[in-house]
A and B are shown apart, each in its own frame.
Chain A
Amino acid sequence: MSARKPGRARSREELMVPDAEFQSYYGRPVLKPPVWEWKVPAYLFTGGLAAGTSLLAAGADLTGRPRLRRVGRTGSMAALLASVYLLVADLGRPERFHHMLRVAKPTSPMSVGTWILTAFGPGMGIAAAAEVLPAGLRRRWPGKLLGAVARPAGLASALVAPAVASYTAVLLSQTAVPAWHEAHPQLPFVFTGSAAASSGGFAMVLVPVEEAGPARALAAMGAVAELVSSKVLEQRLGLTAEAYTTGKAHRLRKWSERLTAAGLLGALAGHRSRALSVAAGAALFAGSALQRFGVFEAGVASTKDPKYVVVPQRQRADAAEG
Chain B
Amino acid sequence: MSIEDRLSGPLPDVAGEAGHAGHPPRVGFFTDTSVCIGCKACEVACKEWNAVPEDGLDLLGMSFDNTGALGANTWRHVAFVEQPHPPSGPSTAPPPATAEDLGMPSFDLPGAKTGADGRTDFRWLMASDVCKHCTHAGCLDVCPTGALFRTEFGSVVVQQDICNGCGYCVSGCPYGVIDRRPDDGRAQKCTLCYDRLHDGLEPACAKACPTDSIQFGELDELRERAAHRVEQLHERGVTEARLYGHDPTDGVGGTGAFFLLLDEPEVYGLPPDPVVPTRELPAMWKYAGVAASALLAAAVAAFGGRRR
Contacts and interface: CB of A to CB of B under 8 A. Distances in A.
B301 A221 contact: yes
Which 5 pairs across A and B sit closest by C-beta, in order of nearness? A92-B165, A92-B185, A25-B269, A188-B291, A162-B292
Contacts, number: 258
Contacts of A218: 298-299, 302
B142 A225 contact: no
B147 interface: yes
A176 B174 contact: yes
6 contacts: A30-B176, A34-B167, A56-B299, A59-B303, A107-B7, A181-B277
A169 interface: yes
A313 B271 contact: yes
B255 to A, nearest CB: 14
Contacts of B271: 30-31, 309-310, 313
Interface in B276-306: 277-278, 280-281, 283-285, 287-296, 298-303, 306
A313 B266 CA distance: 10
Contact of A166 (B142, B171, B288, B299): B288
A28 B92 CA distance: 30
Nearest to A218: B302
Interface stretch (A11-19, A96-104, A273-281): A96-104
Contacts of B69: 28-29
A47 to B, nearest CB: 13
Contacts of B63: 26
Nearest to A107: B141
Interface of A: 22-26, 28-32, 34-36, 51-52, 55-56, 58-60, 62-64, 90-94, 96-97, 99-100, 102-103, 105, 107-111, 114, 158, 161-163, 165-167, 169-170, 173-177, 180-181, 184-185, 187-189, 191-192, 195-196, 200, 213-215, 217-218, 221-222, 225, 299, 303, 306, 309-310, 313-314, 316-317, 320
Contacts of A28: 68-69, 269
A32 B178 CA distance: 8
A109 B299 CA distance: 25
Interface of B: 7, 62-63, 68-69, 71, 79, 81, 88, 138, 141-147, 162-168, 170-180, 184-187, 264, 266-274, 277-278, 280-281, 283-285, 287-296, 298-303, 306-308
Central interface residue in B62, B146, B298, by most chain A CB within 10 Å: B298
Residue from B141, B166, B285, B290 whose CB has the most chain A CB atoms within 10 Å:
B166
Given A93-B186, A185-B287, A317-B272, A100 B164 contact: yes
A176 B144 contact: no
B46 to A, nearest CB: 18
B169 to A, nearest CB: 10
A110 B269 contact: no
Contact of A175 (B172, B177, B273, B303): B172
A322 to B, nearest CB: 14
Nearest to A64: B308
A225 B293 CA distance: 13
A306 B291 contact: no
Nearest to A113: B144
Contacts of A320: 273
B292 A108 contact: no
Contacts of B270: 30
Given A29-B69, A59-B303, 7 more contacts: A26-B269, A91-B164, A110-B166, A173-B284, A174-B281, A196-B298, A217-B306
A313 B165 contact: no
A93 B183 CA distance: 10
Given A91-B164, A92-B167, A314-B266, A175 B185 contact: no
B281 A102 contact: no
B267 A222 contact: no
Given A107-B278, A108-B142, A313-B271, A91 B302 contact: no
B268 A102 contact: no
B142 A63 contact: no
**Which interface residue of B144, B174, B298, B303 has the most chain A CB atoms within 10 A?**
B144
Given A174-B277, A195-B295, A188 B288 contact: yes
B299 A59 contact: yes
Nearest to B141: A107
Contacts of B178: 32
Given A163-B292, A313-B274, A30 B185 contact: no
Q: Counting chain B CB atoms within 10 Å of each CB, which of A23, A34, A200 scores highest? A: A23
B296 A162 contact: yes
B268 A25 contact: yes
B146 A192 contact: no
A130 to B, nearest CB: 20
Contacts of B162: 96, 99, 102
Nearest to A25: B269
A32 B280 contact: no
Contacts of B278: 107, 174
Nearest to B173: A176
A187 B288 CA distance: 8
Given A30-B176, A30-B270, A32-B171, A170 B285 contact: yes
A14 to B, nearest CB: 26
A174 B269 contact: no
B253 to A, nearest CB: 14
Contacts of B81: 25
Contact of B266 (A23, A91, A176, A221): A23
A173 B171 CA distance: 10
Nearest to B174: A176
A22 B266 contact: yes
A175 B277 contact: yes
